[in-house]
Amino acid sequence: MRKIVLLSPLLLSCVSYAASNPVDPLSAWKETPVKQAIEKWVQESTRDGSPNYIPLDKRYVVFDNDGTLWPEAPLTFQLQFAMDEIKRLAPVNLEWKNDPLVMAVLNDDFKTVAASGDKGLLKLVALTHSGMTTEEFSHRVSHWLDSHKNRHTGCRYDQLGYQPMRQLLDYLRANGFKTWIVSGGGSDFMRVMSQKMYGIPPEQVIGSFALTEFRLTKDGPQLRKTMKGAFNDDKAMKPVAIHLFMGQRPVAAFGNSDGDLAMLQYTSANPDYKTFEMLIHHTDAIREYAYDSHPPASGKLVDGLALAAKQGWSIVDMKQDWNRVYDPELCRK
């Protein structure tokens, strides 16, 4: 005999409420036109019969990392890693003490480090990102993530992915999109944390790189990092890298600076599909940083703001469009 279970009025109301109020996958976003634009594009791109439908095998979307998925101010995290590595390695590299740039790092003279420009950055990268195996470099990055905290937030660096953008990544993947990082940051550096932080596997991370050398040693075959053939994946080189590593034009692109413009322009010129482009504007001096024309480290956004208005690209005002910047379960800020 079948047993009939009667639900109480209270339980029925709870079930009804849950059915009519599903969990918002973009809860960290405020209900503004920016969020609505994202949802509209995704719905139109994935609905069978829609004139803007994008097939599954064409749903490739690209994201910058520094300033788009996590902070880039007052220093990019990779530069902070390089400086911390200089401090860690200096005691066993005594010859470094004759180098003014190294001494500036040891003395926390950020003004001198910043003034050294790209040449100085390249030098710090050469000292800390080459001359070891790829496995040893990954171990160093992992150890740094485990042992260092961001001064501004007090949180670990791998806890500082922007929650709205992490939700956006999940939302896109739930709708059949394949998410890629295309960033000026180092590929090997970002690949250590991309899966954990963003759900993006290492093979979908495109960044700056230099050639490795294959060697047969007593410990077996190794790849050792060098500075040969360095490729800086920024500005006009981003579309070049997308073509090289992805092999097809994206249908959406997300960035935060003028260094991302070429990537957004390349995406928006996709001849086959209605694309989506978005720039993150850092406007929240309380929860993060506020800058555009005078960034504390990198990420100037001037030409991008003007071009976005002409092209119809979405601009995220962090202060106005985001309920939260960081995940409170990871970083209590």
pLDDT tens digits, 86-121: 999 999 999 998 999 999 999 999 889 988 988 998
Q: What is the mean pLDDT of the chain?
A: 93
Dig out the tokens for 179 from the structure.
């998410």
pTM: 0.93
Structure tokens at 97: 């003490």
Q: Are 28 and 36 in contact (CB under 8 A)?
A: no
Q: 63 forms bridges with which residues in the sheet?
A: 181, 254
| CA dist., res. 107 & res. 109, Å (int) | 5
Q: In this structure, which topology does domain 27-72+161-321 adopt according to CATH?
A: Rossmann fold (3.40.50)
Q: What is the pLDDT of residue 333?
A: 60
For the chain, list residues with pLDDT below 50.
1-5, 13-18
Strands, sheet with 252-255, edge to edge from the N-terminal-most edge strand:
205-208, 178-186, 60-63, 252-255, 276-281, 314-317
Start-end of CATH 3.40.50.1000 domains in the chain: 27-72+161-321
pLDDT, residue 17, reads 44
- pLDDT, tens digit, for every residue of 304-318? 999 999 999 999 999
Tell me the per-residue pLDDT of 156-199, one tens digit each, with 9 for 90 and over. Answer: 999 999 999 999 999 999 999 999 999 999 999 999 999 999 99
pLDDT score, position 8: 54
